[in-house]
Amino acid sequence: MEIRVGHFFRLATSDGAVHLYQNYFVGENKTYLGETYSFAPFQPEGSTAALNGDNQQLRVLFPNIEYALVLLDKGEGNRLSELRLTTAWFDAAGQVSNALADFYLGIGAGYSETTIELRFRSAIDSVGSEFPGRALTRELVGPLPLNAELYLR
C-alpha cells in the first residue's frame, strides 16, 4: 500500500495578496477548493504543543529562490500573514481522498544562502482560567463514563 501525502499552502500576506502553492504535483498546477495552486518545493516542519497551552509553532521551509523571497517582501518578513495549510491524502488517480486544514498566523522569518524559513503560530489561543466553565452533563454529551477515561475529539 502506498501513502501519498501532499500539502496545499494558502498564504494571505499583510498587503492583501494571496499566494497558493502545492508540493505534490511536480511542475503542475492543481485546483483545490476552487483555487489553483502552483507547484513549489516546500516542507512544513514542527507543530509542537506544550502542556501549558502555548500556541503551536510551525516552520515552512522553501529553497532560497525568487518566489519565496516575494513571500518575505510582500508579507513584511511574514508578520501577521494568514496561512491555511492543508494536508491532503491522495488516491492512485491523484484525487484528494482525505484532507485536514490547519490555520496559522505569521510571526517572522529567517533566511540563509539556501533556505527561507517562514515561522507561524497556531491561530487559536489556549483557553485560560477566565473562560466561562461548563459542566459536562448527560444532557450535553450523553452517558458519561464512570472512570477517568473521558476523551474529547
In a domain, 19, yes or no: yes
Choose among 133, 120, 151: nearest CA to 55. Answer: 120
Query: What pLDDT is stored for residue 52 in this prediction?
Result: 57
CA-based nearest residue to 38, from 9, 4, 74? 9
Question: Does 45 map to a domain?
Answer: yes
Per-residue pLDDT, 77: 83
**Contact present, 112 and 64 (Cβ < 8 Å):** yes
Residue 137 falls within a domain, yes or no?
A: no
Residue 142 covered by a domain = no
- Phi and psi of 101, rounded to 5°? -105, 140
In the predicted model, what is the mean pLDDT of residues 47-57? 63
Domain that holds residue 62: 5-128
pLDDT score for 116: 92
Per the domain annotation, does 147 fall within a domain? no
Q: Is 50 a domain residue?
A: yes
What's the predicted TM-score (pTM) here?
A: 0.74
Asked whether residue 70 is domain-assigned, the answer is: yes
How far apart CA 11 and CA 129 sit, in angstroms, is: 32
Q: What's the pLDDT tens digit per position in 56-110?
A: 889 999 999 888 888 887 778 888 899 999 999 999 888 898 999 999 999 999 8
- 49-60 average pLDDT score: 71
pLDDT per residue over 101-152, tens digit each?
A: 999 999 999 888 999 999 998 876 655 555 556 666 667 766 666 666 655 5
Query: Residue 149: its pLDDT value, please?
Result: 63
Q: How far is CA 19 from the centre of its chain?
A: 14
Q: Is 144 a member of any domain? A: no
CATH number at residue 55: 2.30.110
Mean of pLDDT over the chain: 82
Q: Give the residue-averaged pLDDT of 40-57.
A: 74
Q: What total of structural domains would you count in the chain? A: 1
Please tell me which residue, 5 or 56, carries the higher pLDDT value: 5
All cell numbers assigned to 1: 500500500
